Amino acid sequence: MIPSLFIAHGSPMVAIEQSEYAQFLEQLGRTFPRPKAIVLFSAHWESRVQMVSEIDDYSMIYDFGGFPNELYQVVYPAKGDKELSRQIQQLLTDAGIENRAETKRGLDHGSWTILNRIYPNADIPLIAMSVNPDLTPEEQYRIGQALAPLREQDVLIIGSGVTVHNFGLFGVQDKAAVKALAVGFEQWLKDHMVQWDLDSLFRYEELAPYAKIAVPPQAKEHFVPIFYAMGAADEERKTEMIHLSLMMDAFTNSVYQYG
């Protein structure tokens, strides 16, 4: 059974830059078991009802500004899989989770930036999924749980976000303090995921050190994909951090493998 993943999508520049993190993503694509399809929950697609892409060919969404022109020339020609999309919709319905098909929306940078490095040939069918940061962590986890049977079909379930995501940290002069905050929060997260301590993880806002700064209310959508990915591995309950690096000592580029 193929593991599920949480992958930090970091800066959009990860799609084209040569960095430690970009190199890791390329290596991941070479060493990770090749999936038959990908289901990806993106922090950059929010909706009240769970949306499931049902599309043949994705257009590109360049949902950012102020970056080099080269980045806006990247095209990731991903294909969908309508049969798999309908299977996902049925799994969610069977679990009592309201959902709808989305037949027009393209790929946002929470999806194509990392996939451009991991699977540059864009030759694996992709189903894009929305997230809802207003749900409780338990509800987000339950959505991932509902899709767990897909892993038996070698479908890779990815949560794409960023665990420490606060633009205000870039302006702090004490970089050592910012780094300590980011690393401290990430260490707490890792420790409790390794223990599969759901009681604590679901209460991360009150229990995790620096949680209010690492995950401010306006950035919860970047943190919550972790619960969708974890839920998909509920039966095995095994976590491994396979990468951690920092972007400008503030944002964490973390990758977790579940199952």
In the block, residue with structure tokens 């199952």: 259
Query: pLDDT: is 46 or 171 the higher one?
Result: 46
Q: What is the pLDDT of residues 83-108, one digit of tens each?
A: 999 999 999 999 999 999 999 999 99
Q: Are 241 and 5 in contact (CB under 8 A)?
A: no
Q: Is the pTM of the predicted complex or chain greater than 0.75? A: yes
Where exactly are the structural domains of the chain?
Answer: 4-164+217-258
What is the amino acid identity at position 52?
A: V
CATH architecture of 4-164+217-258: 3-Layer(aba) Sandwich (3.40)
Structure tokens at 122: 């864009």
Section 152-158 average pLDDT? 98
What is the amino acid identity at position 137?
A: P
How far, in Å, are 122, 189, 227 from residue 37 at the CA level? 11, 28, 20
Q: What is the pLDDT of residues 14-60, one digit of tens each?
A: 999 999 999 999 999 999 999 999 999 999 999 999 999 999 999 99
Count CB-CB contacts under 10 A for residue 92.
20
Distance spanning both ends of the chain, measured CA to CA: 8
Torsion of CA 58, 154, 2, 230, to 10 degrees: 50
C-alpha–C-alpha distance, residues 250 and 198, integer Å: 26
